[in-house]
Structure 1
Amino acid sequence: MLQTKPLTIQEQLNKAKEYMTEHNQTKLMVSIVEKVDHIDPIRFFKHFHNEDLLRLFWKDTEDSFYLVGIDEFKTIKAQEDRFNQIRKQRQELLEQIYTPNGFDKGTGPVMLGGFSFNDKTTGDKWRSFESGLMVIPRAMLTVDGDECFMTYNVTVKEDTNVKALSSDLKYYTRRVYLEDEQKTQQLKSTNSLDYRNWDQLINKAVKSINNGLMSKVVLARELEAEFNQPIDLNEVLNKLVEQQTDSYIYIFDQGEDAYISATPERLVKVDNGELLSTCLAGTIKRGQTANEDVELANQLMNDEKNRSEHQYVVNMIKESIEPLTYSINIPSQPVILPLRTLQHLYTPVTAMLKESYTIFDLIEKLHPTPALGGEPREVAINYIEENEPFERGWYAAPVGWVDQEGNGEMAVAIRSALINNNTATLFAGCGIVAESDPQEEYEETKLKFTPMLEALGGISQ
């Protein structure tokens, strides 16, 4: 926790130089934290869009916790064995970072990033997004309820001018109240897997399920959308925050290439050793009236296919986390989670994480859940790789953050888009079981495209 009388930026830098002298070091990575007056996280993100800097954005489902990272300080990457490699590199890096002022949850050398669905990405489309990619930003805003913090991650050397560096770091907060011009793009065209090919894909999967290869597989389709001008992420963020209030909102913006997600699905959260995971499987649309909404919810709750699909996820999560945790608690029945255009079956899972494990161990055990891959897991993953007509990259994969103490949260990047200049590739999938109907599943993917496509400036296809 931060000290009762926290040190100023300049005092923290001086303390870091004293530490260097005591330990005979010529340079030192330092994470400086200061409590600040409230800064709007959306405005903070938006005001760096013309500066050719990496931008990272995270909002939780309760609109109470935000992280906004600007510019790279340190980046770690992995291809094969991505979870284990990132875990090792993170630990090695954190051992080298000095934190003179202490930190609250979500401050200090926080890493933000994500992983690919499969262990390795190979396609050119995902060239900017390695299989494992986590970044400690140079400057980061943390908004946690009513409290607001700035973190600055810097390298201090023997000849560093502390006063000058302290002044330079204020750059990140000096200009956050300037107004920017907004540009709204318009949809020109879309392109997606036609229904005939989708029908063949689903029927083949159903046949494989009926032949005993697997009990479930999640299959997805892409939607390519072209716009009349480069996509303005600031405008997209405005719409997502306004429309997707019950979703995680995640942005990893590298300039021309960006990945964005507005997802309701948590993979896992760790807060002071307490684990929270989410079983979210089974989907139906919202009603036009309150009565219709209740009728549809009841229909979903009593639908054998959806309940069976949901139970797959519950069982798998329980089996996966049991070796890593104490005191697992799982409700006996799901509830309805209503979102803006969809409603889902939802079951929370809580437990205490054993001291020797981290959030990365949990990700490795949980990903992908049957809601994103299928059952049995390895058979379903192999089937997806062999039959799905595109590379998933970061779609349906873990994205999120983790701090120095191991607190963190990972969501599953569904309802997402990969953006390059004026084009966006959207992704939507559905769980296929023996009773699946291709037309119904196609309509479900159309519903799932809607939130992101509307935010981008189009209508669902």
Structure 2
Amino acid sequence: MSLPDPVEPSRTAVPHLVVRSHPVEGVSAQLMDHLPADGALAWVRRGDGLVGWGVAARLEVAGSNRFADAQAWWKTLTAAAVVRDDVGAPGSGLVCFGSFGFTDADPGELVVPEIIVGRRGGTTWVTTVSPASSLAAPPDLVVHEPEPVGEIAFADGARSGTAWSAIVADAVKRITGGEVDKVVLARDLVAQAARPIDLRWPLRRLAAAYPNCWTFSVDGLIGATPELLVRREKGLITSRVLAGTIRRTGDDAHDLALAASLARSSKDLEEHEFAVRSVADALKPHCKSMNVPETPFVLHLPNVMHLASDVAGVAANGASALGLAAALHPSAAVCGTPTDVARDLINEIEGMSRGRYAGPVGWLDASGDGEWGIALRCGQADPRDPARMRLFAGCGIVAGSDPEAELAESNAKLVPMRDALGD
């Protein structure tokens, strides 16, 4: 898939920024601990990553050119910035966080924080970003304690479980009839708290419970995704593909047997093959060489197990991490095969707006390196009611799918966010 030529979004003013990154010593707190109550931005895995707050620059995008508009804005902003980077690590210097909608109609954004705290390989640093006319002083890194969510109730979203199972059955009929090979169907759950939800509470719990996932926060969208859409770092491109899932029981011996059955399941292997092929085909134009595993491995998470494959390649052109994410989205893992047919079927029968669920979420630096995940195992805060969130889960439907089994799988995928909101 070729990338569209970026179009300069003339409607958006691009500020001139001064950026300073410097290492800091003696910081033992977790990155999440430094986030203030408002505007939390995060991308953290195994204690490393980036958190930020404040807004030095921001772009909102929507429409069929949203990725090209975002890239053009970022190119102009980075060209005008003055950067002093005394760290030289991935994520130091000028960085933006971003999140994009699943469809062209769903808005997304890039955000450059005023303060970024990063950690990698034992090195912790602080980046300040400010207008050239008003240089910011480095902040004191203090620890903030989030408020527990407290009492919370869960209710069906756009569809009940029974109604969603019927939609899955309809999809299976269409697949067996030859209309489409695979389609990914999502459902939502509404979480209503008694008081405004402090998003730092579920963020901390997600990071602690799912350290092997990428815990993220951008503009009220929070989650812990196991699926890395793409990473570009110093010429190496990698993507983790997940498709094929089974729920864990908590009994280690039984779970090992389930993992073995997952690895042999023709239904799950077929679903996984569709997803891997879609990623490899999208990355191929941007790679000199590629390594596409012939067989997947089983990724063990606390609540589920997935078939997983790590696709890797050597960059062949100047496509940024965001450009690669645009080329990959939507993959078969979150849409289906063939993509256009699956997307149309989702619009026809799913019965809800996904918003930024299953869209790219991550970060980008001034050189074009960065990491973008797929916004899974996530929830979106309601901007009109701070005590309300929508939680999302989706399942890949193929010819061998059983509606009741898919409903059980979707419930398992809702567990991370449900548990994170609890006490």
Superposed, which structure 2 residues align to 1:251-290 within 5 Å? 251-253=217-219, 258-290=220-252
Q: What is the aligned counterpart of 1:110 among 95, 107, 110?
A: 95
Q: 2:359 aligns with which of 391, 394, 397?
A: 397
**C-alpha distance in 2, partners of 1:43/1:104?**
21
Query: In the TM superposition, what is the alpha-carbon distance from 1:190 to its structure 2 partner?
Result: 1.8
Alignment deviations for residues 96-117 of structure 1 (CA, whole Å, 9 cap, x no partner):
0011446432011101011111
Aligned partner letter, 1:75: R
Radius of gyration: which is bigger?
1
CA deviation map 1:212-271 (0-9, x unaligned): 111010001111121222112222122112211221100124xxxx11111101100011
Specify the alignment match of 2:137 in structure 1: 169
Distance of 1:93 and 1:381 partners within structure 2: 33
After TM superposition, give the deviation of residue 65 of structure 1 in Å.
2.2
Given the alignment, which residue of 228, 238, 241 partners 2:204?
Answer: 238
**Aligned to 2:21, which of 27, 33, 37?**
33
Q: Within 5 Å, which residues of 2 pair with 1:47-196?
A: 48-49=36-37, 53-60=38-45, 63-80=46-63, 81-101=65-85, 103-121=88-106, 130=107, 132-157=108-133, 165=135, 169-170=137-138, 172-173=139-140, 176-177=142-143, 180=145, 182-192=147-157, 193-196=159-162
Q: CA deviation at 1:173?
A: 1.7
* SS of the residue 1:422 aligns to: strand
What secondary structure is seen at the aligned counterpart in 2 of 1:72?
Answer: coil
RMSD: 1.7
Q: Is the 8 A contact 1:280 1:346 kept in 2?
A: yes
Q: Is the 8 A contact 1:267 1:277 kept in 2?
A: yes
Contact 1:69-1:137 at 8 Å conserved across structures = yes
70 and 295 in structure 1: CA distance in 2 versus 1, 3 angstrom threshold: same
Query: How many equivalent residue pairs?
Result: 401
Alignment pair present for 1:44 and 2:34:
yes
Give the SS at the match of 1:35: strand
Note the alpha carbon deviations across 1:26-67, whole angstroms, 9 max, x for none.
x9521111111243312111xx11xxx42201112xx15221
What is the rounded CA distance, in whole Å, between the counterparts of 2:145 and 2:208 in structure 1? 18
Structure-1 residue corresponding to 2:178: 212
In structure 2, distance between residues paired with 1:251 and 1:203: 34
Instruction: Find the aligned partners of 1:427 and 1:180 in 2 and give their Cα distance.
Output: 27
Give the distance between the partners of 1:419 and 1:221, measured in 2 at CA. 16
Runs of 5+ consecutive residues of structure 1 not aligned to the other structure: 1-26, 122-129
Partner SS for 1:105: coil
| Amino-acid identity (%) | 31
Q: Distance in 2 between matches of 1:306 and 1:284?
A: 9
Residue 356 of structure 1: how far off its partner (Å): 2.5
- Normalised to the residue count of structure 1, the TM-score between the two structures is 0.83
Q: What code does the residue aligned with 2:21 have?
A: V
Structure 1 residues 357-387: Cα deviation after superposition (integer angstroms, max 9, x where no partner):
2222211221111110000001111111121
1:299 has 2:239 as partner? no
- Alpha-carbon distance in structure 2 between the residues aligned to 1:242 and 1:443: 25
> What residue in structure 1 maps to residue 8 of structure 2?
none
Of Structure 1 and Structure 2, the greater helix share is in 1
- 1:436 equivalent to 2:412? Answer no
Cα deviation per residue 1:174-199 (whole Å; 9 max; x = unaligned)? 5x04x646334122342242233223
Partner of 2:329: 367
Question: Secondary structure of 1:95's partner?
Answer: helix
Q: Judge conservation of contact 1:38–1:147 (CA < 8 Å) in 2.
A: no
Instruction: Determine if contact 2:17/2:80 at 8 Å carries over to the other structure.
Output: yes
For the residue of structure 2 that corresponds to 1:343, the secondary structure is strand
Task: Write the letter of the residue equivalent to 2:276.
Answer: V
Report the 3-state secondary structure (helix = DSSP H, G, I; strand = E; otherwise coil) of the residue aligned with 1:350: strand
Amino acid at match of 1:169: A
Residue of structure 2 in register with 1:447 after alignment = 412
State the distance in 2 between where 1:68 and 1:347 align: 28
SS in 2 for 1:308: helix
Match 2:377 to one of 384, 403, 415: 415
Quick one: distance in 1 between partners of 2:415 and 2:218? 21
Indicate if the aligned counterparts of 1:205 and 1:217 stay in contact, CA closer than 8 A. Answer: yes
Query: Would the alpha carbon gap of residues 306 and 272 (structure 1) be closer, same or farther in structure 2, given more than 3 Å must change?
Result: same
Could you tell me whether the CA contact under 8 Å between 2:322 and 2:372 is conserved in 1?
no
Match status 1:322 vs 2:266: no
SS across alignment from 1:424: strand
Task: Summarize the Cα distance change of 1:108–1:206 in structure 2 as closer, same or farther, 3 Å threshold.
Answer: same
Secondary structure, aligned partner of 2:132? strand
- The residue type paired with residue 88 of structure 1 is A
Structure 1 distance, partners of 2:16, 2:100, is 29
For residues 87 and 427 of structure 1, the distance between their equivalents in structure 2, rounded to whole angstroms, comes to: 28
Equivalence for 2:163: 197
**Counterparts of 1:347 and 1:401, CA distance in 2:** 22
Unaligned 5+ runs, structure 2: 1-14
Over 3 Å counting, the alpha-carbon distance change for 1:413 and 1:101 in structure 2 is closer
User: 1:330-349 CA distances to partner (integer Å, 9 max, x unpaired)?
Assistant: 22211110000100001111
- Alpha carbons 2:40, 2:200 under 8 Å: kept: no
Residues in 2 aligned to 1:180 and 1:308: alpha-carbon distance in whole angstroms: 46
What CA deviation, in whole Å up to 9, does each residue of 1:289-321 have, x standing for no partner? 221111000110111100000011111111111
- Return the letter of the residue paired with 2:49: Y
Question: CA, structure 1 residues 431+189, in 2 after alignment: closer, same or farther (shift >3 Å)?
Answer: closer
Q: Which amino acid aligns with 2:32?
A: I
